């Protein structure tokens, strides 16, 4: 949650008026995040920050964790200029040497994995094991970047002209801005940093303004490694800020590529602005992901996977399962098993090992959840469980002030893909169920929404698998079989189609977007023939 202190305009240094809870203090102390006064939110080789003051608010308790001073317009411009200089330095550092620095970043992150994981849990609200898993994802992609640094190969292409050769050569792009969402406050930056850095680019990171402490902790770790290796700190700059800082980055012609992760609505604006100035843009936007369960599926695997997909991270993953299509033959038994898992859930401190259900990230998200429930109710849907936020009196005292909602399973009257309840991403634990008779019908439902991020089919029949992953199958970027929609490894390219933005990050060929490609024709011969046999010589 973010709130802007009016007093910030006076640029006074605030002191938090009350002591931090021991729960929060131990997490922040472990990462040397000062809380007695405002924390600088800009890094470009040195730490600064004199813009508006943002509050980092714990979604579990409502406690203000720290106040962070965002980038002023001037500080943003300075950071961008210093990042360009850092890029000029970095592009001349051999790629395998850049890989060696990434290896050190990987080691430094791994040494703080548990502490960073706890900070993610504290500030974003996901449960601890998911917080630690998110740091592991950064560690994994840094490993990948180390290998990549020796494998970013171009190609030699056969020329039609004698004594000629054609090379396809990758070179660094320049400055890559990483605009990230609140729900993966560490890993999304990691995906971008590892690939951009290996490829020789400087990055400027603008995280979500509601998770500033995660970005500060990560930047401290990364900058420490850069410093020890004599690399300018602005090779991995940080500019904390809200919409205004994001807009200024997106408009800035010196930013060669904008890698944007966030909502479809903001992504649409970002894409127009960046494409309007012919910059490169990579979009990772909203998901509205479906699981399809066939009658031959192993329900002992499918039920827990759907449960995790719909409820994990309190439904705040881009890959969360939001639609569940059940074959008529197994629908009653599947739902009764699923609902008994839902019944076992209760809200808890995400830092506590036994907790499965954390809070929503902001108070505003509780309103979005409630509106979605209202829409479902108004449409005549049957609400099988949940369907209301927790009232304060229903919560343990320690969780008062947090953003708590009940995970909900709803059965709308029909699968009407024109209706909002099916076609919009509600970033909360709300699962809509539809019943089908034929796989083809379920695939049509899977594909009939604007988004195209993740999808999952549960079956043991290889003929179904063939349909699902083939040309008439799922149109998503992630097409799983007997694996839920949520949770991907770094080895494959990650991203979605259609209104999810077509972007690909992480593994696969994603690195190829972080370079500029040149086709270089070299002539080693004593002639200079034109291609396609074109003759252009005076006849007389």
Provide the binding-site residues for ligand NAD, judged by CB under 6 A: 179-184, 206, 208-209, 242-243, 246-247, 250, 261-263, 266, 269-270, 284-287, 318, 425, 427, 453, 496, 500
Note the residue count of the chain: 540
User: Buried b vs exposed e over 211-220: b needs ≥16 C-beta within 10 Å?
Assistant: bbbbbbbbbb
Q: Per DSSP, what are the bridge partners of residue 379?
A: none
Are 347 and 314 a contacting pair, CB within 8 Å?
A: no
Spacing of C-alpha 245 from chain mean position: 19
CB of 181 to ligand NAD, least distance (A): 3
Query: Strands 39-40, 64-69: parallel, antiparallel or unpaired by DSSP?
Result: parallel
Q: Which residues are catalytic?
A: 284
Closer Cβ to ligand NAD, 115 or 264, answer by number = 264
380 CB neighbour count, 10 Å cutoff: 9
Closer Cβ to ligand NAD, 95 or 116, answer by number = 116
CB of 388 to ligand NAD, least distance (A): 23
Closer Cβ to ligand NAD, 302 or 453, answer by number = 453
Compute CA distances 308 → 35, 313, 357, whole Å.
Answer: 34, 9, 10
User: Is residue 335 within a helix (H) or strand (E), and if so which, with residue range?
Assistant: helix 331-343
386: number of CA atoms within 13 Å, CB side?
35
The DSSP symbol for 415 reads: -
Closer Cβ to ligand NAD, 126 or 327, answer by number = 126
CB of 241 to ligand NAD, least distance (A): 7
CB of 247 to ligand NAD, least distance (A): 4
Closer Cβ to ligand NAD, 214 or 294, answer by number = 214
Q: At 48, phi and psi to the nearest 5?
A: -140, -165
Query: Strands 42-43, 47-48: parallel, antiparallel or unpaired by DSSP?
Result: antiparallel
Query: Strands 430-436, 451-452: parallel, antiparallel or unpaired by DSSP?
Result: unpaired
Are 227 and 220 a contacting pair, CB within 8 Å?
A: no
CB of 184 to ligand NAD, least distance (A): 5
Closer Cβ to ligand NAD, 102 or 181, answer by number = 181
By beta carbon distance, the residue nearest ligand NAD is: 246
Are 435 and 270 a contacting pair, CB within 8 Å?
A: no
Are 209 and 246 a contacting pair, CB within 8 Å?
A: no
CB of 54 to ligand NAD, least distance (A): 10
């Amino acid at each position: 949650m973010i709130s802007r202190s009016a007093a910030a305009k006076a640029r006074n240094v605030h002191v938090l008026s009350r002591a931090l809870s021991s729960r929060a203090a131990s997490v922040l102390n472990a990462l040397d995040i000062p809380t007695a006064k405002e924390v600088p939110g800009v890094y470009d080789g040195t730490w600064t920050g004199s813009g508006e003051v943002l509050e980092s608010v714990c979604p579990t308790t409502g406690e203000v964790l720290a106040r962070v001073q965002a980038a002023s317009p001037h500080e943003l411009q300075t950071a961008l200029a210093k990042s360009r200089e850092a890029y000029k330095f970095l592009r001349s550092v051999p790629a395998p040497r850049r890989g060696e620095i990434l290896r050190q970043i990987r080691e430094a992150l791994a040494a703080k994995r548990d502490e960073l994981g706890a900070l993610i849990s504290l500030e974003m609200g996901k449960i601890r094991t998911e917080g630690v898993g998110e740091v592991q994802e950064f560690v994994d992609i840094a490993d990948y970047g180390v290998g990549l640094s020796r494998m970013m190969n171009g190609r030699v292409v056969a020329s039609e002209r004698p004594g000629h050769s054609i090379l396809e050569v990758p070179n660094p792009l320049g400055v890559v801005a990483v605009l990230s969402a609140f729900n993966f406050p560490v890993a999304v930056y990691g995906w971008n940093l590892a690939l951009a850095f290996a490829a020789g680019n400087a990055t400027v990171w603008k995280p979500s303004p509601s998770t500033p402490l995660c970005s500060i902790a990560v930047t401290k770790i990364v900058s420490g490694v850069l410093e020890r290796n004599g690399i300018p700190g602005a090779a991995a700059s940080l500019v904390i800020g809200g919409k205004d800082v994001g807009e200024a980055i997106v408009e800035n012609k010196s930013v060669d590529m904008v890698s944007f992760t966030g909502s479809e609505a903001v992504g649409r604006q970002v894409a127009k602005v960046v494409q309007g100035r012919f910059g490169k843009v990579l979009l990772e936007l909203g998901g509205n992901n479906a699981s399809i369960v066939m009658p031959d599926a192993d329900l002992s695997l499918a039920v827990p996977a759907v449960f995790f997909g719909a409820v994990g991270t309190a439904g705040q993953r881009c890959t969360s399962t939001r639609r569940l299509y059940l074959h008529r033959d197994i629908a009653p038994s599947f739902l009764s098993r699923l609902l008994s898992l839902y019944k076992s859930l209760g809200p808890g401190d995400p830092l506590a090992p036994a907790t499965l259900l954390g809070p929503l990230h902001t108070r505003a998200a509780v309103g979005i959840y409630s509106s979605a429930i209202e829409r479902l109710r108004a449409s005549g849907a049957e609400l099988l469980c949940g369907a209301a936020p927790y009232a304060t009196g229903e919560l343990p005292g320690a969780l008062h002030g947090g953003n708590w909602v009940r995970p909900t399973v709803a059965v709308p009257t029909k699968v009407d893909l024109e209706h909002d309840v099916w076609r919009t991403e509600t970033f909360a634990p709300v699962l809509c169920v539809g019943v089908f008779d034929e796989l083809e019908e379920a695939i049509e439902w899977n594909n009939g929404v604007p988004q195209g991020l993740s999808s999952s089919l549960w079956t043991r029949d290889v003929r179904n698998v063939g349909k699902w992953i083939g040309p008439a199958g799922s149109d998503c970027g992630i097409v799983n079989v007997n694996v839920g929609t949520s949770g991907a490894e770094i080895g494959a390219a990650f991203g979605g189609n259609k209104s999810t933005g077509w972007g690909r990050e992480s593994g696969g060929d994603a690195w190829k977007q972080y370079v500029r490609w040149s086709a270089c024709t070299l002539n080693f011969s004593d002639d200079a023939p034109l291609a396609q046999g074109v003759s252009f010589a005076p006849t007389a």
